[in-house]
Amino acid sequence: MQPKVIFGNAASEGANRWGWFMGYFITPDDDPRSTTALEIKWGVHKAGDSRTEWGVNDTAATLSILINGQFCLQFEDREIILSREGDYVLWCAGVPHCWVAQSDCTILTVRWPSTPGDSVAVRSPQ
């Protein structure tokens, strides 16, 4: 029987999945955190951590919200620096991106829908 209330710690539960703690990849699949509706990531990064390889989601939109620190997202036509608590960036499916933590920081990222194989590496769009 599926529990009606779940509690835990996002950092520890996502530790073996690069911070992702909710989405299709959670087992068992009767756990309320196992869903194809969305994915949630608690990202704790040290200054200089980065994703230098460009990535894109074919079907999912993504929202990243800064909890603390400073975080830079690079897109084809612009660079967006999140520096104030609550700063966010939302991008649609098909938009290549990469990122770098400009200081120690924490980012909450929500992606929807949660689809296996949707996130892929791409060549630099420049």
Here the CATH number for the domain that contains residue 72 is 2.60.120.10
Return d(Cα 11, Cα 119) in angstroms, integer. 21
Phi first, then psi, for residue 10 (nearest 5°) are -60, -40
Domains contained in the chain, number: 1
Residue 73: inside a domain: yes
Query: Which pTM does this prediction carry?
Result: 0.90
Residue 40: inside a domain: yes
The SS3 of residue 10 is helix
pLDDT tens for the chain, residues 1 to 126: 677 888 999 999 999 999 999 999 998 888 889 999 999 999 999 999 999 999 999 999 999 999 999 999 999 999 999 999 999 999 999 999 999 999 999 999 999 999 999 989 887 765
Return d(Cα 5, Cα 28) in angstroms, integer. 16
**Range of the structural domain that residue 40 is part of:** 10-115
Return d(Cα 68, Cα 82) in angstroms, integer. 9
Residue 29: inside a domain: yes
Residue 85: inside a domain: yes
Residue 5: inside a domain: no
List the alpha helices (DSSP H) in the chain: 10-13
> What local confidence, expressed as pLDDT, does residue 28 receive?
86
Residue 94: inside a domain: yes
Residue 1: inside a domain: no
Residue with tokens 């996502």: 14
Residue 4: inside a domain: no
